[in-house]
Structure 1
Amino acid sequence: MDDLSSYEKLPQSFYLRDDVVQIAKDLLGKYLVTNIGGNTTVGKIVETEAYNGRNDKACHAFHKRTARTEVMYQSGGRAYVYLCYGIHHLFNIVTNQEGLADAVLIRGIEPVVNVDIMKGRRGAKVPYKKLSAGPGTLSHAMGITTSFNNTDLLGEHIWIGRKSNESVGEVVTDVRIGVDYAEEDALLPWRFYLEESDFVSVRKKSDNK
């Protein structure tokens, strides 16, 4: 098992920047770490999507400040976890300054530390390459539920780390998934993934491995 001290926790300044698209790109190759129920798991972030609270019709906070989206209006560096279709717990990272409501959805991670724990959470019959490819499955594998909504990512339960020898590789840019309702904003090229990873949820038709 990797030494967890080798994963340097990202500072809040990383999340407070004003370009959510750049942050979504910069999160690729970083590490999602969870310490839940006495179990620590780590996965390399390989797929992200950016959402802008002011001018993006696909964003939950677009002209809608509600009880659910209130966490998105906090200062960057908090978790926004919501339930999709009443089943899937989706993990997002709030970014930008207080009141602006930007966020990055984490769509895929590559298992790194305590893979057996991830398998136990997902079920023994789940194929390895399906273990954490997709936003709902990765949350399941990492033990993330809506109970961790509004969690401080500088705390001790969920955080994002980086390693000094971090290697990203080729980044693919594509449209986001499942946001057809967003009209012209559904075509924004705000989804990013690592081309070489086996844990990408959806690939470009021209990039199918």
Structure 2
Amino acid sequence: MILPRDFYARRDTRAVARALLGKVLVHLDGGVRRAARIVETEAYHGPRDQASHARFGPTRRAAVMFGPPGVAYVYLIYGLSHCMNVVTGEEGHPAAVLLRAGEPLEGCLHSTRGPGNLCRALAIRRETENGLDLTGPPLFLEDAPRPREPIVAAPRVNVGYAGEWAGKPWRFLLGGNPWVSRPAPR
């Protein structure tokens, strides 16, 4: 079953980030099904979050974050890697969950550890998937059983510039899963 829009429309982005763990990200790429089980996420919540792209307002890059929930926000980082977020919350309030890593299930082209690798593995690109509605093909998330692994909260990755926001435990991962991008701090 494809996740409905109300799954993403919750006010607390952290709740969506936790709930996405164990769900299956699917990209129907030219007739090929590419899929990975989500094992790591990060929440970015609102314009005050200094780690969020939305901190500068609805720029050309971040405008999708201000739109309706249940939409893909795909951007290019360091000019090299595509990263995918799912927009959450209410329209007009910029919030999104970065999909940091997945466990490969079907048709993966590359390692799925890390957000850039996950997009590369599922052939997700900014030029073609940014702004897509996630409630139907070609890009969507499927419901799945609750994960057996424990959910671990940790600080987000590579946001040291964000001051006090850098230390917020808004990274969520499945403890002990070998596909997370890096181990959680002890």
TM-score range, shorter chain: over 0.9
Which residue is 2:88 aligned to? 95
Deviation of 1:175 after TM superposition, in Å, equals 0.2
| Rg comparison, structure with higher value | 1
Normalised to the residue count of structure 2, the TM-score between the two structures is 0.96
What amino acid maps onto 2:153 in structure 1? T
Instruction: Name the counterpart of 1:18.
Output: 11
Aligned to 1:9, the other structure's residue is in SS state coil
Distance 1:59 1:155 in 2: 26
* Contact preservation (8 Å) 2:154, 2:185: no
Q: 2: distance between equivalents of 1:171 and 1:99?
A: 29
- What's the offset of the Cα at 1:36? 1.1
Contact 1:53–1:60 (Cα < 8 Å) also in 2: no
User: How much does 1:167 deviate?
Assistant: 2.9
Q: Percent identity?
A: 41
Structure 2 stretches of 5 or more lacking a match? none
Could you list the runs of 4 or more consecutive aligned residues of structure 1 that deviate by over 2 angstroms after TM superposition? 165-169
Aligned length: 185
CA contact (8 A) 1:58 1:186 kept: yes
Aligned to 1:80: 73
SS of 2:61's equivalent in the other structure is coil
- For residue 14 of structure 2, give the secondary structure of its aligned residue in structure 1: helix
Cα shift at 1:176:
0.3
Which amino acid in structure 2 is aligned with residue 86 of structure 1?
G
User: Structure 1 residue 150: deviation in Å?
Assistant: 0.2
C-alpha RMSD of matched pairs (Å): 1.1
Cα distance change of structure 1 residues 143 and 171 upon mapping to structure 2, 3 Å threshold: same
Report the counterpart of residue 47 of structure 1 in structure 2: 40
CA deviation map 1:58-106 (0-9, x unaligned):
0000142211111111110000000001100000000011100100000
Give the structure 1 partner of residue 168 of structure 2.
188
Instruction: Give the match for residue 3 of structure 1.
Output: none
In the alignment, the residues of structure 2 paired with residue 145 and residue 96 of structure 1 have an alpha-carbon distance, to the nearest angstrom, of: 23
What are the superposed Cα offsets for residues 156-209 of structure 1, whole Å, 9 maximum, x if unpaired? 11101113x443420111000000110110000000100131110111243xxx
Contact 1:34/1:159 (<8 A) preserved? yes
Question: What do the CA deviations read for 1:80-137 (whole angstroms, capped 9, x no partner)?
Answer: 00000110000000001110010000000001123xxx2xx33xxxxxxxx1010000
Correspondence list, 1:1-209, <5 A? 8-114=1-107, 118=108, 121-122=109-110, 131-147=111-127, 148-163=129-144, 165-206=145-186
- Distance of 2:185 and 2:50 partners within structure 1: 25
Secondary structure at 2:147 match in 1: coil
Question: Which residue number corresponds to residue 127 of structure 1?
Answer: none
For structure 1, the residue ranges without an aligned partner over 5 or more in a row are 1-7, 123-130
Q: Is the 8 A contact 2:88 2:97 kept in 1?
A: yes
CA distance, structure 2, for counterparts of residue 48 and residue 178 of structure 1 = 14
